[in-house]
Amino acid sequence: MDLITVTRKCGVAFDIRVRGHEVTSDLSAKDGGRDEGPSPVELLGGSLGACVAMMVQGYCERHGYTDGDVGVSLTLELADGPKRVGGIVVDVELPEGVPEDTKEVIRRMAERCPVHETLRDPPRVDIEVM
Partner 1 sequence: MEQKEYGGKMIEIDEDGFIQDPDAWDEGVAKDLAKTEGVEEMTADHWKVVNYLREYYLEFNMAPMIRKLCKTTGFKLKEIYDLFPSGPAKGACKVAGLPKPTGCV
Report the C-alpha gap between 52 and 103 in whole angstroms.
14
Residue 41 CB, nearest approach to partner 1 (Å): 11
**Enclosing H/E stretch for 7:** strand 5-10
> Do 85 and 44 meet the contact criterion of CB atoms below 8 Å apart?
yes
Total length of the chain: 130
Residue 89 CB, nearest approach to partner 1 (Å): 5
Q: Under rule CB under 8 A, how many of the chain's residues touch partner 1?
A: 15
Q: Kindly tell me which of 31 and 61 has the beta carbon lying closer to partner 1.
A: 31
Sign of the dihedral defined by the CA atoms of residues 80, 82, 83, 87, in that order = negative
Q: Kindly tell me which of 18 and 50 has the beta carbon lying closer to partner 1.
A: 50
Q: Is residue 91 a contact residue for partner 1 (CB under 8 A)?
A: yes
Q: Is residue 100 a contact residue for partner 1 (CB under 8 A)?
A: no
Q: Which residues inside 19-78 make contact with partner 1, applying CB under 8 A? A: 31, 73-75, 77-78
> Do 73 and 91 meet the contact criterion of CB atoms below 8 Å apart?
yes
Report the C-alpha gap between 38 and 25 in whole angstroms.
5
> Which of the ranges 3-11, 15-23, 89-97, 122-130 carries the binding residues for partner 1, by CB under 8 A?
89-97
Binding positions for partner 1, rule: CB under 8 A = 31, 73-75, 77-80, 83-84, 86-87, 89, 91, 93
